[in-house]
Amino acid sequence: MSTLRTLVRAFYAVSLLTSATASPTTTQRPIYAIAHRVLSPEAVEAAISHGANALEVDLTAWHLGWSADHDPFSSSGSSAREIFETIAQQRRTGQNISFAWLHIKDPVICRESRACSVEALRDLAREILEPAGVRVLYGFYQTCESPGYRVVRESLNTNEGIILSGRTNDVLRWYQHTGEKIPVKQRVMDYGNPRLGKALSLYPELRYGSWVRDQGKLGKAFSWTSGARDPEFVAYLLRETAIDGFVYGHRTAEYGDEDCVRDAIRSIIEFAESHPDTHRMATNDDAPW
């Protein structure tokens, strides 16, 4: 707890912009609890049962198609189609799944006509996820240099958004120079740290990100990765930075049906439930963009 107090004081000390930019919340902010590294149908079902209302899926291009993998050196054994079909099936049964964040790890391996191309992945999401009511958020490694980013940017529809990772000014600059045609509501940023308590830059960057969102320059701002031991930091950042949600779960492992993962999402849900005047968990009725 002493560490938390020290960090809170530091956050306030380096974040004088709050006094100039903070504004009272007059409506409930829909909060997204985004399950981290969902790489199998079983993980999809576990995340939904825990209360996740969005899913982050790591995807790697192999020569025969896309697989749910965090890196190009090993495969979880689950194909993108299997994951998408499980998500769509759950959504059609009434489960609360707002969007799937497709974290694309290797978007340059294949030509457009191949099953491992970004075009093929985009078409698969449009075939399976979007007709079921699940929106799609595309994220890329080294985004501004990625041909895959350009493919998605040029063909983006209203069900889809793009998320760029980094400090707020960097993200704004990237969107300005590479994504000016992307509707603002479909421009998303994320900024985080595997260890929330170790990153003094989280508060000012997230507060600034939510402020520029409120100024009409971004659609959403998310952070990551909240774990079982982070309830104080989660509550502080949700309350003070006005972000739209957290990626939660294991920091470096796949999502699973485990007590520590349940504890991680519980801190997000309990914060929303204990602040009903300003926050609530997002539902299928909330359009993320």
- Residue-wise pLDDT tens digits, 68-78: 987 666 556 79
Q: What is the pLDDT of residue 6?
A: 46
Whole-number average pLDDT of the chain: 90
- Whether residue 169 is predicted with pLDDT greater than 70 in this model: the reply is yes
Catalytic residue among 36, 50, 103, 250: 36
Contacts of 121 (CB under 8 A, 6+ apart): 59, 61, 66, 80, 102, 104
Q: What is the pLDDT of residue 229?
A: 95
Query: Is this prediction's pTM over 0.85?
Result: yes
Q: What is the pLDDT of residues 215-245, one digit of tens each?
A: 999 999 999 999 999 999 999 999 999 999 9
Q: What is the pLDDT of residues 182-208, one digit of tens each?
A: 999 999 999 999 999 888 999 999 999
Asked if 36 is an active-site residue, the reply is yes
Q: What is the pLDDT of residues 83-124, one digit of tens each?
A: 999 999 999 999 999 999 999 987 666 888 888 899 999 999
Q: Tell which CATH classification among 3.20.10.10, 3.20.20.190, 2.60.15.10, 1.10.8.60 matches the domain 30-281.
A: 3.20.20.190
- Whether residue 133 is predicted with pLDDT greater than 70 in this model: the reply is yes
Q: What is the pLDDT of residue 197?
A: 86
Distances (CA, A) of 196 to 1, 116, 123, 218, 255: 14, 35, 36, 23, 18
56, 101 contact by CB (below 8 A): yes
Of 199 and 38, more confident: 38
Q: C-alpha angle 18/24/29, rounded to 5°?
A: 105
HEC readout, 10-21:
HHHHCCCHHHHH
- Whether residue 64 is predicted with pLDDT greater than 60 in this model: the reply is yes
Q: What is the pLDDT of residue 23?
A: 46
Q: What is the pLDDT of residue 172?
A: 97
Q: What is the pLDDT of residue 70?
A: 75
- 245's tokens: 């949600």
